[in-house]
Amino acid sequence: MVAQVDPRDLRPGQMVDGWRIVRKIGAGTYGVVYEVEKDGQRFALKVACNREQSGDPRQTDARAKREAACLQQLNHRYIIRMWAQGRWPDPRSGFLYIVLDFVDGYTLGQWVARTYPTPHEVAVLFRKLFEALEHMHERDVFHRDLSLRNIMVTKGGEPVIIDFGAADYAAAEELTDAPLPPGTPRNRSPEAQRFWNENRLNPEARYPFNATDDIFALGADLYDVLTDPTPERSKVRPPLGDAVPPPSPFKVTQGRVPEVLSSYALMLIHGKPEERPATAKDARSPLEEFAQFEGPEWHSTRVHPVAAQLPPAPAEIAPGQVEAPPVPIPSHPSAVPVAGAGALNRLRKGWLRPAFVAPLALVVLVAAVAAFVLHRPAHPEPPPVAMGAPADQPRPSSPLAEKPTSRPAQLASPLPTQEEATPSVKQPDNSPTLTSGVPNPPKASPRRVLSKAERCALLLASVAWFQAGCPGVQTRPDPEDCPEEAIKAMKELGWSTYPGHGSQLFILVDVTKGSVEEAREQPLTVWKDGPVTGALIRAEERAPAGTRLDGHLWTTGDRIYGRYLRAHLSGGRTVPICVELKDGGNLGVDKREGSKPGAPVGSKVADGVAVERWR
């Protein structure tokens, strides 16, 4: 008899057969998933348990057994791995659980909304997914629910297929109690949709799910990635297997998706199964070719445009009135306020090249000054005043607010505060300023509203100033090749340094800020520029957990950048390495809410990647 305990109510710190509960990740009709820790490593613990409305608990147990049986047959880098299974609290009659990889990243839909990928990035990602699907089908395993929420993308940019709760394999017993297996209607093939329409009232009918259904589902995901910039937010959408074919991604995106990729996506969801690839290998083949394509339409154009918004012109305020907080602006990393240093990474790869920075800065600064002088209201000439920032000058009352989104709170990408954005436009104390010789307006006068042209000119001037590396502004360290001895040492450690596929490390950024356990309780701290000693939180090939890493942090720019140069191995041996901090596909890590100039707030733990060249 199953013990009288509800696995949905486990609390942090409780143990399940040696696995310590860290937090609940989520719960569904047939189970609950926790983040757990053992021997300093993180895992996901999935416990099979049903709600009262979910039906027969024996079927819940049978589904969990089948999920474990499917995962036991799979071993692929883009498919979640199962590490252990058992029953708890009683080894004979307790709830069945499985221990899986802990995937630190985002669902496929969240990845689209967060990164705004290029066509090349999408093609590479789906090439890997079809490679995983090919591995799955070769072992007669069908996922049966390849939806956007069941594909994760790690912070290193690698896809992982998760949640085999609806999966099936060739020798499995039939558990489906309806004409169609559990799944996402949007991703069902036309033939499955037709079977449902014809047999929905027949309780004995069972759809013969096969490989082409999984291929269609993954093709539906590709279509949604190419046509919907925020697929996680889209609520009610018709099944793509309906009779009416959807518009092409090329048309939906007004040409941002290359025609050949658009045609490929439509082929995957064609209404006739004979027009679609018969195997995952056939589906992967064109993507191999797309991944080799060069050109700006593949590498520079984003599938979904990012609207770079200027903060709205401030309204005039009466003397003594408190200024309202600025209107929130998009929190997407590539849609940060372009007046801040965060816009630099977007513009750096485009037309704003170093060769043009000096003349551009000069032209824009002159234009900005001219616009300011020509458009400012006439005032009687007051007596000259001393230069400087008067204490009674009105200041913004609050930092920039984040734009509310439908994404979970832990995935928010905090924007720099108003003070953080200042270094990109602030000039050194000993240099002339744009307002030199122009008297400060009387305190009682309302603040003049800049025109859109003036704001654009000042905005571009600030970016040019930052790009030019003028005094008073610190940028991230320059790109350069990693020393040969460091590359050799990392290979001896078993670390991959292949571009785009370097070994992913989980790092305690600075051991002087506390242990891993303390970081869980208090995950954020204030950082500053300078040397740092970090540590590996979990083992990576021949480097054990706890390996010390010497490095350096740069914190003055738009993000917190870090490089680790040496690793202290057991026996007192020290080897050179090249590891840099990253967040998803972005170099560096986010600054968090509460950051101030010279005192940015950031996470105590971060991802790192082994590289052959510093970016």
| CATH 2.40.128 segments of the chain | 480-614
pLDDT of res. 173: 59
pLDDT of residue 447: 44
| DSSP H helical ranges for 300-431 | 344-348, 354-375, 418-421
Do the Cβ atoms of 98 and 137 come closer than 8 Å? no
Cis amide leading into 89 (omega within 30): yes
Q: Return d(Cα 348, Cα 364) in angstroms, integer.
A: 17
Most confident residue range from 275-284, 331-340, 363-372, 500-509: 275-284
Intervals of CATH 1.10.510.10 along the chain: 105-299
Higher pLDDT, 428 or 104: 104
Check pLDDT > 90 for residue 237: no
Q: What's the confidence (pLDDT) of residue 243?
A: 65
Model confidence over 321-344: pLDDT tens digits? 433 333 332 333 333 333 233 332
Q: Calculate the dihedral angle through the C-alpha atoms of 374, 376, 377, 378, rounding to the nearest 10 degrees.
A: -60
Residue 212 has pLDDT above 60, yes or no: yes
For residue 485, pLDDT over 60 is answered with yes
Each residue of 551-593: pLDDT tens digit?
999 888 888 999 999 999 877 788 999 999 988 668 898 899 8
Most confident segment among 164-178, 347-361, 375-389, 517-531: 517-531
Residue 146 or 1, more confident:
146
Q: Please determine, looking at this structure, whether the domain spanning 480-614 carries the CATH number 2.40.40.
A: no
Residue pLDDT, tens place only, 357-367: 444 444 445 45
pLDDT digits (tens, 9 = 90+) for 3-22: 467 888 899 999 999 999 99
Quick one: what percent of the chain has pLDDT higher than 90? 42
Q: Does domain 7-101 have CATH number 2.40.128.280?
A: no
Please state which of the four CATH numbers 1.10.510.10, 1.10.645.10, 1.10.10.60, 3.40.50.300 is assigned to the domain occupying 105-299: 1.10.510.10
- Beta carbons within 8 Å of 509's beta carbon, 6+ residues apart: 527, 532, 534, 553, 562, 581, 602, 603, 604, 605, 606
User: Please, where in the chain does CATH 3.30.200.20 lie?
Assistant: 7-101
- Percentage of residues in the chain with pLDDT exceeding 70? 67
Contact 423, 473 (CB under 8 A): yes
The average confidence (pLDDT) of the chain is 75
What pLDDT, on a 0 to 100 scale, did the predictor assign at position 99? 97
Q: What is the pLDDT of residues 377-416, one digit of tens each?
A: 444 444 343 333 333 333 333 332 333 333 333 333 333 3
Q: What span, in angstroms and rounded, lies between the C-alpha atoms of 545 and 341?
A: 35
pTM: 0.52
CA dihedral 124, 130, 136, 137 (to 10 degrees): -160
